[in-house]
Amino acid sequence: MNNKLIGMLSGMCLMFASVNALAANDDTVTFPDRDSASLKEGTFVNIDNLRQVAPGLSKNQLYALLQEPHFSEGVFGVRKWNYIFNFRTGKGDEFVSCQYQIQFDDHKLVKATYWKDPACADFLKRPAAPEVVVAPVAIAANPEKFVLSMDTLFPFAKSSLDSILPAGRTALDDLAAKIKSGYVSLSAIVVTGYADRIGSPESNQTLSLARAATVRDYLATQGIDPGVSKIQGMGASQPVTQCPPGKTGAIIHCLQPDRRVTIEVSGEKH
């Protein structure tokens, strides 16, 4: 083989290596044509769920918050998910559509998020709370505390309203009926979500808060005023189990009590 041919082959190898390197690191922010979306009209996203999207979340956690992507780009083995989200403007039925992209790292965890129109991020801002003067009130005596274990509410790594298990729905329905029956003169509800040790501290905090928010929203569908409810997430900071290390199916089952939600209902018991 002459030197000229060897040089040509070497050049071609370098070219293919460069192309493959670019493909492997293609994290550029480009948005697909909206006409190629499987859901061209977009969805009215749950803004509280969208606020919880942060680096470190797994695809399962992201799916629980936002459901499947709106473009036919696959769910597994891809580095980007794209959505079309609609937001009300507050002017009658007027709304704005925004394209949203999530990029994943080599470990299939959320790395970064982008809006095609950066102004769309303003819809996630929380409105400033009005300044109010609150008169002193007496604290209700005899607080009631209802504790629901995780295995009656959500499957492993889930937190969405649709993923509540039938037994969990029954338990929440019974609790709502008890509150509405007048058993307690309701003054406040505190819903606290927890997670097990599997996953990063950031993702566990997000997951525990999402579970608490879902329980609050479900109680609202049963007639419990969400305005009296406060939610908080404790992540994996307060485990109640003593399971061995690892992530096997048996250990995940052992950790179920750590994946819990507590509901504290404060009010005067009759």
Q: Residue type at 61?
A: Q
Spatial distance between the Cα atoms of 157 and 195, rounded to a whole number of angstroms: 9
Helix (H, G, I), strand (E, B) or coil at 164: coil
Q: Long-range contacts: 97-100, Cβ < 8 Å, 24+?
A: 97/42, 98/123, 99/31, 99/34
pLDDT tens, residue by residue, 53-91: 999 998 888 888 898 899 976 656 788 999 999 998 888
Could you tell me whether strands 80-88 and 144-148 are parallel, antiparallel, or unpaired per DSSP bridges? unpaired
Residue 159 has pLDDT above 70, yes or no: yes
Contacts for 9 with CB less than 8 Å, ≥ 6 apart: none
Asked if residue 226 has pLDDT above 50, the reply is yes
Enclosing H/E stretch for 178: helix 166-180
State residue 32's pLDDT score. Answer: 93
Report the distance separating Cα 69 and Cα 55, nearest Å: 17
Give the rounded percent of residues in the chain with a pLDDT score beyond 70: 76
Tens digits of per-residue pLDDT, 118-140?
A: 999 999 887 654 554 544 544 44
Which residue type occupies 206?
Answer: T
What pTM did the predictor assign?
0.46
